[in-house]
Amino acid sequence: MKKFEKSFTQQESIPQAGIEAAVEVMRSGRLHRYNTLPDEKSETDLLELEFADYMGLSYCLACASGGYALHIAMRAAGVEAGDKVLCNAFTLAPVPGAIHNSGAVPVLVDVAEDYCIDLDDLERKAADSGARYFMLSHMRGHLADMDRIMQICERYDLFLIEDCAHTMGASWNGKMSGTFGDIACFSTQTYKHVNSGEGGFLTTRHPEIMARAIIHSGSYMLFERHFAAPPKELFEQIRYETPNYSGRMDNLRAAILRPQIADLDNQCQRWNARYRILETQFNDSEVIHIPARSEKEQFVASSIQFSVPGFSRKQILQLVANCAERGVILKWFGDEEPRDYTSRYDSWRYIEEIPQLPQTKQILSTLLDMRIPLTFSEEDCQLLGEIICEEAVKISDR
């Protein structure tokens, strides 16, 4: 019986150019983003300019984490305690956590069969809740129909914050993920599309929002040293009104990230080649379901999600265990208990009124997830697919 021998948490090495740049930063001792000579651009400044250029936007702020970027996005948008914020019921815990951190109230929206937010439920809840804000999580790299999303946002005057932690480099109908909303937040945590251990970006097309975000990030009165930023005149009043939440990125992480951003499109192609191998095998299986993706979606698949329809809780746990015995690590999003990076929406008990979402529970009840690190070869992915399909068939035949 074939087994898989590689680690699901081992990432590729930081590019040599990033290692050399990081060593240079350490030799200089100037790790803090504002420790610069007059008119000098730090590594963090250069990273912000380069990512803004990659996104086709004017404004970019490098942050200590993606979750921190979500937090100050809420603050910079003007969210206040008690405000209602629409968000996916199927997402990772930092998303409702950022809403709670702002004092706002999450309004959870169902998941659809394609693992994206349910657009019919979104429209209903946008109409009924009175929410003015919408934090859209492109969960595990799945892009919903962004044309309809924007129609709903326009119809109900929703301020859209895109959580692009899993869609850096992706696009919908040729338009980049993160350029639809009023604000977008990205993650550079180890298991995302670029790796600095922890880190993130906030991007926006709105100058006043970026000015507030820069002050929130902990710029003190050093905002003039930001280059992917609005003119200094815009800070004149904002600097008095905006609290400092200190969550800056440092030059060491920025140095590590810059060559990765430069090579991002190539890395995206490598991930998708591996995803397609697994997708083909799952499509050929009689017991595994994987949703078809829209031709408008140019995704970046650093993980894969699939369902085993009709499997009971016992069968799901058996499949996860059997695959683990053969070296394949699967995560189950339908578990009642939070485990690893997965948690079901009804485990977020800090939300005062958790809704009953039977559709979401049903879909998550058979939904499995697997990382696809680039340390796996295409041959590795072929083997992974074979093992998962074999074990799923064995359990379904019992």
Residue pLDDT, tens place only, 369-392: 999 999 999 999 999 999 999 999
d(CA 125, CA 109): 7
Percentage of the chain beyond pLDDT 70 is 100
pLDDT reported for residue 97:
95
Cβ(305)–Cβ(363) under 8 Å?
no
Check if the beta carbon of residue 61 is closer than 8 Å to that of residue 210.
Answer: yes
Q: 311 near 395, Cβ under 8 Å?
A: yes
The length of the chain is 398
Report CA 233 to chain centroid distance, whole Å.
33
DSSP secondary structure string for all residues of 301-357? -SEEEEE-TT--HHHHHHHHHHHHHTT---EETT-SS-BTTB--GGG-TTSSSPPP-
Mean pLDDT over 100-128 rounds to 97
Domains and CATH numbers, the chain: 16-262 (3.40.640.10), 264-396 (3.90.1150.10)
- Provide the residue type at 243 as one letter: P
pLDDT tens, 209-232? 999 999 999 999 999 999 999 999
What percent of the chain is predicted at pLDDT more than 90? 98
